[in-house]
Structure 1
Amino acid sequence: MNGFQPFGVSPEILKAIADMGFEEPSPIQKEAIPKILAGLDVIGQAQTGTGKTAAFGIPIVERVDPDRSEVQALVLTPTRELAIQVSGEIRRIAKYKKVKALPVYGGQSIGHQIRALRLGVHVVIGTPGRLIDHIERGTLRLDGVRILVLDEADEMLDMGFIEDIERILKALPTERQTLLFSATMPEEIRRLAARYMKHPETVKVTRETVTAPSIEQVYYKVLEKNKVDALCRILDTEETELGIIFCRTKKGVDELTEQLQARGYLVDALHGDLSQAQRDKVMADFRSGRIEYLIATDVAARGLDISNVSHVINFDIPQDPESYVHRIGRTGRAGKKGIAITLVTPREMKQLRVIEQVAKTKIQPRSLPTAEETNERRLAAFLAEVREAMEGAVHPLAERAAATLLDEYDTEKLVRGLVHLALKDDLLLELDPGYDFGETGAEAGMVRFFLNVGKNINITPKRLVDELSQLAGITPEEIGRIDIFDRFTFVEVSESAAPFVYEALKQGRLFGTRVFVEPAKPKARRS
Structure 2
Amino acid sequence: MNKTKDRTLKFEELNLSPNIMSGLQDINYTELTELQEEVIPAVLEGNDALIKAEQGSSRIASFIIPALEQVNKREDKDGTSVLVLTPNPDESKQIDELVWAMGYHAQIECASIDMDTEEAEQKESLQSEVEVIVGNPGPLQDICHDLRFIFRDVGLVVIDSADKMTTLNLQDKLKNILKRVLSDHQTLIYTNELNDDVKELTKQYTEDPIAIGFEDKPGMLTEPPTVDQNLSQGYIYVPNRMKITTLMAHIEDNPSDNCVIFTASKRGTDRLYKTLRKNNLKATSIHGKLSDEKHAQRFANFTNGDVQYLLVADIPAAELELDRVTQVINYDVPNDPNEYRYRANLVGSGKASRIVSLVSKQDRSDINELENSLGQAPKELPLPDKVKQKLKERKQKKKKKSRGDNRSKRGRNNGRSKKKKDDGLQLPRPSYDKLSGGRKGDTPKDQRDGVIGLIKKLFS
Task: Tell me, yes or no, whether TM beats 0.5.
Answer: no
TM-score by length of 1: 0.37
Higher Cα Rg, which structure: 2
